[in-house]
Amino acid sequence: MNELLEKAKKIKCLICDVDGVLSDGLLHIDNHGNELKSFHVQDGMGLKLLMAAGIQVAIITTAQNNVVDHRMEQLGITHYYKGQVDKRNAYQHLKETLGLQDEEFAYIGDDLPDLPLIQQVGLGVAVGNAVPQVLEFADWRTERTGGRGAVRELCDLILNAQNKAELAITGYLKQ
């Protein structure tokens, strides 16, 4: 746990996947072909608290749809990379944009497209229901599953490791 907290202390940007991480991974498609997704409000609050504490949030996802676009807009996420089958290019662009090093990033994922970044960043995290290949290489596994509070669990870990929980709450309430 000490090594985990040491890694979390260095984080200046959290990167999240969407399907299976911010959403539960289930695709609901209506009879018109419209895709619907479920997002947990506690995950969204965790991301807002990170941002209120001065920690950057980014999304790198293979998904490309209006539902995700709308949710990212609701959350105020500006570092949003969609349609990224190979997520390494978006990550490199984000690193250059923010001027950060690998050890200053955390990434949370659930499946094979997430594996390269989980292995590269300073804190690679798997949601509780991630595939075995991701679990094998992650620094930490959340107790909660994707779309069910896993992201909030990680946000709380980062804020507590950096002693920024109170700052985050104060900053959020001033918005």
Rounded to whole angstroms, the Cα distance separating 73 from 84 reads 18
CB atoms within 10 A of CB 36: 12
> 114: annotated binding-site residue?
no
Q: Name the pLDDT band for 168 (thresholds 50, 70, 90).
A: very high
Q: Name the pLDDT band for 175 (thresholds 50, 70, 90).
A: confident
pLDDT at 98 over 90: yes
Please, what is the average pLDDT of the chain? 96
Q: Name the pLDDT band for 34 (thresholds 50, 70, 90).
A: confident
Q: Find all residues with CB under 8 Å of 73, minimum gap 6, and list them.
A: none
pLDDT at 1 over 90: no
> 17: annotated binding-site residue?
yes
Q: Find all residues with CB under 8 Å of 113, minimum gap 6, and list them.
A: 17, 62, 85, 86, 87
Domain ranges of the chain: 2-173
pTM of this structure:
0.96
Mean pLDDT of 130-142: 98
CATH number for region 2-173? 3.40.50.1000
Q: According to the model, what pLDDT value does residue 146 have? A: 97
